[in-house]
Every structure is written in C-alpha cells, then in structure tokens.
Structure 1
Amino acid sequence: MQITAIVPQLPPAIDGVGDYALRLASQLQQDFGLSSRFIVGNPDWQNTPAIAPFPAQAVSLRTSADLIAQLEQFVMPDSTLLLHYVPHGYATKACPFWLVQGLETWRKRFPQIRFLTFFHELYALDWHRPWSSDFWLSPVQQHLTSRLAQLSDACLTSTERYIHPIRRLSQGKQTEIPTLPIFSNVGELADVQPLTQRQRHLIIFGQRHSKRRIYQASLPLLKQVCQALAIETILDIGPPSGITPVHVNGVPLQELGKRPLNEISAILAQAFAGFLTYDPRRLSKSGIFAAYSAHGLLPINHRGCIQSVDGLTTGTHYWVPPTTPTLNMQKAQAIATAAYTWYQAHNLAAQTEKFHRYLKETNEAA
C-alpha cells in the first residue's frame, strides 16, 4: 500500500501540519515499510533535500484542474489518498473551493481509491466576532468542511471536540472518528531528568504570532511565573516576535531564533518549564504543548477549563498560575510527570502504529 498525502506546506516552510505529515510518513516507512508521496497545496513551495526520500510536488496553481492533474499523476491504483485538512492552509480566507471541487471531480473518476481526511481544523473558531471576515465566511467554511466529510471514506481528527461537528457535517456518514492528539515535531525523550536536576530555564517556543500574543497580553503572568519558580533565564525559540523584551521582571530573556530540531530537543531536555497561551479545550492539538510534555517540562498555560478534554485536566497535566498562584516542587514534578505520561499513549511510535492499523482496517473494509 502506498500513501499519497495532500498537505498545505512542507519544510523548509514553517508549518506544523506539514511537519506532522512528514514525520508520520517517515515513521510509517521505518516501522511498516509504507511509502508516501506528497502533493503540496502552495504553488510557491520549493522542494528540498529535507523531503527525501519522498516524492513531492506542489500544485502549479490553486485550481481544481491543476489538483486533478496532480492526483492523476501521483495516486497509484493501490494508493490511499490522505488529506491533511486545515482550511486556512489552502486558501487566504479559509475557503478552499479549488481543493474541494477538485477532490469531488477526481473521486467521481476514481471511486475505488480510498480517501481519508485528517481534520486538523474544521473551520475558523472566531466567527462570533463581527469585525472579522470569519464571521461572514463561517457558513461557507462549514459548507466546504461538510462536503469533505461526506466525500471521505473515513475521517480522523486530533481532538474529541471535533467528533460531534464532523458527524453532524457529514450528515451521518461518519460515525467512527478516531482521535489522535498531535505528537511532538521536535523529538521525544525515552527518559527525562527530574525537575530538581534541570536548569531554571523557562521556554517560550512557537511562531511569531503566538509569541507576540504572549509578550503583548501575558507579561504580568510571565513575571508571576518567573518569581514563583525562581526562573533564572527565559529562552525564546523560533522566529523573532519583533517585540521581545530584554528581560522580564529582572530575569534575562535570550532570543535564540530558529534552531535545528535536535538542538531544540536538547534545550528542552534541560529546561524546567514551558509557557504557552493556547485554548485549553484544544491543547491536544498544540505541537508546543506536545513538545513540552514529550521532554518532561512543567507545562504552563495562561488559563484552564472546568472539564477534562482529551484526557487533559487543569492542575493535573498543566499549571495555570491565575488559579493556583504558588507551586511547590513536589506538585510541579507531579504535573510534569502526568503530562509526560499522557503523551506516551500517542507518541510518534504509538500513533504511527494506530495510524497503520486504521489504514489497514479501512482498506480491508473497502
């Protein structure tokens, strides 16, 4: 069996979904001998040696005709087509008509080839803000997601919160929808050092926009965290935010910029805690939270939620300073251990095995 995956981006572009798809393909090949090839939905993407040994080609234009031509060239009779869907990755306003229309036409021509969709996102979540375009485009985005859910032979997603919407939008076609929380794109540790043996470093890791959000809205919280944990240095990893402070309440901040994956992993392995501002109902979708958990850090989020979601509980798997201002070492270690343990059930090897089993089952059911 061969897999042809459609992705919004691949390296060298910085894209969490593309990184996820590439690491999954590598592990499927290593563990089960499954070969993969990629169709990239961004015409500006340029192939690099980092993608080897996987054949990959970008669409020339974002049109249904160009996509169909790529599919007819890349998808073999024994292939499974896998779409990694995040709407804003395929269209500026998160309305990728060209993608959906192209897939619908192609499926009519080749109905015997299995088609799976991994819904990393469904549609924009800030539709309730009248000043945003998503407020007006949400019905269109949901309509396109509905068409994809009905078109797919099977669907997967990274959070249980998406299961009911996918069922509803598929109009009953999708009943069994596996959830696979995101694994770390910067490596994992088989053994982690206890917090008592780590440097008092606080990690801020992510893209420019996420770090700007931290520095603009969460500086008072950062100051509280640094004081409560006796942080000695803050390490900023990733593209520069443009507004990074030199220090936070007297704690020096080092802007490390982009680093190789193995170097990031080594930095995380020695750090005490990692900070992020992410919707607590969707933490299982966060590659940053996965990276912190996989390396045994104390994960810190700016807020929590009342109910447990995807097996994650506020105060058990991550610290929320506004609700628990102080934290002793024993509790900090308990949270870091719980997050690391939670991660092991869907680490790269475990998730690859589940993915392979699911691919096998869906193909046998065809």
Structure 2
Amino acid sequence: MKVAQIVPRLPPYTDGVGDYAVRLAGQLLKAHQINTQFIIFKPGPKNSSELEYFPIAKLSEHTTQALLEAIPQDINNIILHYSNYPYLQNKWDAPFWLVDGLRAIKQQYSVKLIVMFHELPTLKWRHFKVLNPIQAIASRRLAEIADTVMTDSSNFKKHLAKWTQSDVPCIPDFSTIGEPETVVPLHMRDRRLIVFGGHDRQRVYKNHLPTLLQTCQALGIEEVCDIGATLDLDASRFGNVRLVQKGFQSAEAVQHLMSTSFAGLMDYTPFPGDLGKSSVFAAFCAHGLLPVCTTYNPSEADGIYANQQYLVAGKQLEDFRLAQLQAIATQAHTWYSHHSLAKNTDVFASYLHHPI
C-alpha cells in the first residue's frame, strides 16, 4: 500500500506538523508496510526530492490543477495534515482550491481520504476565541468530503463531530523527537529543568519568571536548560539557578537531555483544554520528566489532570515529596503510553486498511 501525506513543510524546516508526518511515515512502513509519498505545500530551497528514503513532490502553486499534477497515480490513500494557515495565500484567504482538488482526486483515482485536523481556523478578540467564519467553511467542506476525520484536540472534536454527524477519533499527539527505550526514575536524574519548543517559550520568561524560579527552589532545581531558537536571555535574572541556553539541538541531543533531566516546564495558557495536542507535553511525558505547567490547563477531556499527570508551577510544590513527584511523572508516562507513536500509527493504519 502507498499513501500520499500532504503537509505544509518538512525538515530541515521547523514545523511540528511536518515532524509528526515524518515520524508517522516511518512507523507506517516499519509496522504496517505502508509506504509514503510526501507532498509539500510550502517547499523551501533546503527540501530535496526525498527525505529518509520517502519521495517528495513539491506543489508549484496553490491551485486545484497543481495539486492534481502533484498527486502520484499509484497511491491508494491520502492523509491530509491540515493546520489551516500554511495552506493560505494570506490571512483573509480560504483554501477552497484544496477542497476542490481533493474532491477531484477522489473521483479520478478512487482513493480514500483521511483528514487529520491539527488546527481549526480561529479568530481571537481579547480573551475570546471563535472559528473564523470564512475559513471554517473550507474546513467543514474538507471534513465532509473525507472518508475519515481525525483530530488531536478535544476542543476541535466537538466542531468536527457536528459537521460530519459522526464520531471523530481524537488521538493526543505523540513525541515528535522520539521515545526512549527506557525511562530513568527521578532520583537518578540531574536536577535540571527543561524549557523546550518554539519562540512561544518566550512567554515562560516574560510572564512567569518569578514562578519559574519558585518552582526551581521548591524542586531543588540547579539548572534551567533552554532548548530552541535563541532568545538571548539574561542569566543574571535567574539568581542562583544556572541558565544554559542550548539553542537548536538535534532530536537525539534533546532526547538525551530530557532522559537525564528532572522536570520540564511549559506555558500553554493560550490553549486551554488542549494539553493533549502539545508535542512538547508529549515529549516530557514520554521521557519520564516531571511535567510542570505555568497555570492550570483544563484538559481533563484528554485524561490529563492537575496533580496527576502534571503539576502547576509555584511555591506550593515544596509540599510534594519525591515519592509523590515520581508518582506524577509515572502517571504522565503511563498516560502517554496509550497514544505513543506506535499506538497512534495503529489507529491511522486501521483506517487506511478499512474499505471505503
């Protein structure tokens, strides 16, 4: 079986959806003998004609005809990784050409279409978030023409289920930097706290630095290790806690740091109820770190509870003993094990093999 995975970008460009698709492709081939052809919507000069032995087709322009020309004729299925904005020409655009192109491909080649909604288009006004009315029409039409609709967000699931009038599988994200073979207990780890991700890490230091330092004191953290695009942080603001700014690191290097560190801290305040769709949170859980969030995040719909799978940062962490901290890290790792790369890939494979 051969599947076309449609993505916005692929490595070496930084893109969480692209990283997700590459890991998925590898596991589909390894465990299910399903091969992948990638189609990139936003190719860059660093993208070659293949990645990890998977061929890559690059879309020449955002039109129905260009999509038809890019789709190989020998595919059996299509997985569209949809995150809305990369498929737009501008912020007021809506990708109706994508809907028309996929509909035409389904008719011409009789292939199955799986749409994985990593994002839905939203508009934000003050503290309120609503679906973008024009772009949501395109999203809804994609859901309606798909043979299978999936998402990694319980929040998105509500809209998608309403649009499709059917149950929508919701699978929290796996770690896109890989998974360790073994997990070391907290008492054997360095008292290091990891802050990892994109430029949104800046929120941790801009809005929550006092809370971060209180957390370090409460947990006996000696070092804060910042991983990602350089933020030019001022080490003098961290007091007695050593700041190490690693910059961009390979997945293997990040894995090693996470496997030997005590805790991981993140700010997911702009995304209430969506911890399950954070690949950073997934990486913390997969590597046995103690996950810490700057604030409470109501993600119970995904099975994530404060003081069970993560802790809220602050001075109050002084009240937790090592055994309690280990129990939380263990529960987080157990939660992750139910939607690891292998488990999530099994879900995709089951729908790929299911007849239309």
| TM-score, normalising length: structure 2 | 0.92
Unaligned runs of 5+ in 2: none
Residue identity in the other structure for 2:19 = D
Whether 2:37 is the aligned partner of 1:44: answer no
User: Matched residue of 1:231: which SS?
Assistant: coil
Deviation at 1:328, TM superposition (A): 2.2
- Summarize the alignment of residues 153-192 of structure 1 with structure 2, pairs less than 5 Å apart: 153-170=147-164, 172=165, 175-192=166-183
Whether 2:108 is the aligned partner of 1:118: answer no
Q: Distance in 1 between matches of 2:58 and 2:172?
A: 27
Q: Distance in 2 between matches of 1:27 and 1:246?
A: 44
1:319 matched to which residue of 2? 311
Pick the aligned partner of 2:340 from 344, 347, 362: 347
Residue identity in the other structure for 2:301 = V
Q: CA 1:235/1:351 → structure 2, altered by over 3 Å: closer, same or farther? A: same
Q: CA 1:307/1:284 → structure 2, altered by over 3 Å: closer, same or farther? A: closer
- Summarize the alignment of residues 51-200 of structure 1 with structure 2, pairs less than 5 Å apart: 51-71=51-71, 74-76=72-74, 78-91=75-88, 92-93=90-91, 95-110=94-109, 112-124=110-122, 126-129=123-126, 138-170=132-164, 172=165, 175-200=166-191
Whether 2:195 is the aligned partner of 1:204: answer yes
Q: CA 1:30/1:306 → structure 2, altered by over 3 Å: closer, same or farther? A: closer
Residue identity in the other structure for 1:88 = Y
Equivalent pair of 1:247/1:253 in contact (CA under 8 Å):
no
Q: CA 1:198/1:20 → structure 2, altered by over 3 Å: closer, same or farther? A: same
Residue identity in the other structure for 1:69 = E
1:233 matched to which residue of 2? 223
- Could you list the per-position Cα deviations for residues 84-135 of structure 1 after superposition, in whole angstroms to 9, with x for gaps in the alignment? 000122224273343233323434444x2111100111122x53349x9x97
1:224 matched to which residue of 2? 214
User: Greater shift after overlay, 17-26 or 297-306?
Assistant: 297-306
Residue identity in the other structure for 1:156 = M
Whether 2:205 is the aligned partner of 1:215: answer yes
Deviation at 1:177, TM superposition (A): 1.4
User: Matched residue of 1:272: which SS?
Assistant: strand
Deviation at 1:159, TM superposition (A): 2.4
Q: Distance in 2 between matches of 1:252 and 1:50?
A: 41
User: Matched residue of 2:230: which SS?
Assistant: coil
- Summarize the alignment of residues 3-22 of structure 1 with structure 2, pairs less than 5 Å apart: 3-22=3-22
Residue identity in the other structure for 2:86 = G
Whether 2:281 is the aligned partner of 1:284: answer no
User: Matched residue of 2:125: which SS?
Assistant: coil
Residue identity in the other structure for 2:120 = L
Equivalent pair of 2:306/2:312 in contact (CA under 8 Å):
yes
2:288 matched to which residue of 1? 296
- Could you list the per-position Cα deviations for residues 170-222 of structure 1 after superposition, in whole angstroms to 9, with x for gaps in the alignment? 3x2xx1311221111112123211111110000010012x1111111111111
Equivalent pair of 2:41/2:62 in contact (CA under 8 Å):
yes
Q: CA 1:194/1:350 → structure 2, altered by over 3 Å: closer, same or farther? A: same
Equivalent pair of 2:272/2:298 in contact (CA under 8 Å):
no
Equivalent pair of 1:200/1:231 in contact (CA under 8 Å):
yes
Runs of 4+ that moved beyond 6 A = none
1:252 matched to which residue of 2? 242
Higher share of residues assigned strand: 2
| TM-score, normalising length: structure 1 | 0.89
Q: Distance in 2 between matches of 1:50 and 1:13?
A: 14
Q: Distance in 2 between matches of 1:246 and 1:178?
A: 47
Q: Distance in 1 between matches of 2:267 and 2:114?
A: 31
RMSD: 2.2
User: Matched residue of 1:142: which SS?
Assistant: helix
Equivalent pair of 2:218/2:315 in contact (CA under 8 Å):
no
Residue identity in the other structure for 1:191 = T
Percent identity for Structure 1 against Structure 2: 35
- Could you list the per-position Cα deviations for residues 139-186 of structure 1 after superposition, in whole angstroms to 9, with x for gaps in the alignment? 01211111111111110111232222002233x2xx131122111111
Deviation at 1:296, TM superposition (A): 0.3
Deviation at 1:55, TM superposition (A): 0.7
Equivalent pair of 1:212/1:243 in contact (CA under 8 Å):
no
Pick the aligned partner of 1:329 from 322, 325, 330: 322
Equivalent pair of 2:43/2:59 in contact (CA under 8 Å):
yes
Equivalent pair of 1:119/1:156 in contact (CA under 8 Å):
yes
Deviation at 1:245, TM superposition (A): 4.2
Residue identity in the other structure for 1:30 = K
Residue identity in the other structure for 2:350 = R
Equivalent pair of 1:300/1:318 in contact (CA under 8 Å):
yes
Equivalent pair of 2:287/2:333 in contact (CA under 8 Å):
yes
Deviation at 1:322, TM superposition (A): 4.9
Q: Distance in 1 between matches of 2:23 and 2:305?
A: 27
Equivalent pair of 2:9/2:43 in contact (CA under 8 Å):
no
